[in-house]
Chain A
Amino acid sequence: GEDVEQSLFLSVREGDSSVINCTYTDSSSTYLYWYKQEPGAGLQLLTYIFSNMDMKQDQRLTVLLNKKDKHLSLRIADTQTGDSAIYFCAGWGKLQFGAGTQVVVTP
């Protein structure tokens, strides 16, 4: 299977929380990243977490890292229409990216 797996699609209502999940097999990366990609644009770094941390909060964003289960998640609180995009988790030794999760926010 893939080294990094993400769910492909998520639909949320405006104001709700979004949770995007990512599982991985290689645990050698020092940093784990979440990137946002809007249509036709490059990638924008949202946040990152050191591999020795369990949680990082940055305004509306909360990153949770479960090293035992090799599971990374991104929670977006109070999701807005401007949060509609594709979200990629990334990291590991050779800059591997997950397939991306398309988040659609409905009014």
Chain B
Amino acid sequence: GAVVSQHPSWVICKSGTSVKIECRSLDFQATTMFWYRQFPKQSLMLMATSNEGSKATYEQGVEKDKFLINHASLTLSTLTVTSAHPEDSSFYICSAPDGQGTGELFFGEGSRLTVL
């Protein structure tokens, strides 16, 4: 099946710094990618929909200036957590629908962010 890769898988940073997480579709093109956030022992919360060539669509309650999303190409979307604080520590997961119209979503391995 299709593969979605995230990088880095784990990042630790100091409070106030910015962190960029990449999501790549390795063997298919993804005009749309989704970013989720998962707190320990909780479900995934959809943060935003990343659209290639246009602005991302953010879910209610998600700060656009805090979580910058850029979908620069058909295989790459990035999530930048700006001025990170400890409460931003979480597991961030991206996904992309396959290009065949089945509705199947392929998920990245997730990126664990720890802000000290």
Q: Do A and B bind each other?
A: yes
Chain A contact residues, CB within 8 Å of chain B: 30-31, 33, 35, 40-45, 48, 88, 94-100, 102
| Complex CA distance for A69 and B95, rounded to whole angstroms | 29
B116 neighbours in A (Cβ, 8 Å): none
List the B residue with the shortest CB-CB distance to A30: B103
Chain B contact residues, CB within 8 Å of chain A: 1, 6, 34, 41-44, 46, 93, 95, 102-110, 112
Q: Is the CB of B104 within 8 A of A48?
A: yes
Known: A88-B43, A95-B46. A41 touches B110 (CB 8 A): yes
| Complex CA distance for A2 and B62, rounded to whole angstroms | 19
**Min C-beta distance of A21 to chain B, whole Å:** 15
Partner of B43, one of A31, A33, A98: A98
List the B residue with the shortest CB-CB distance to A100: B43
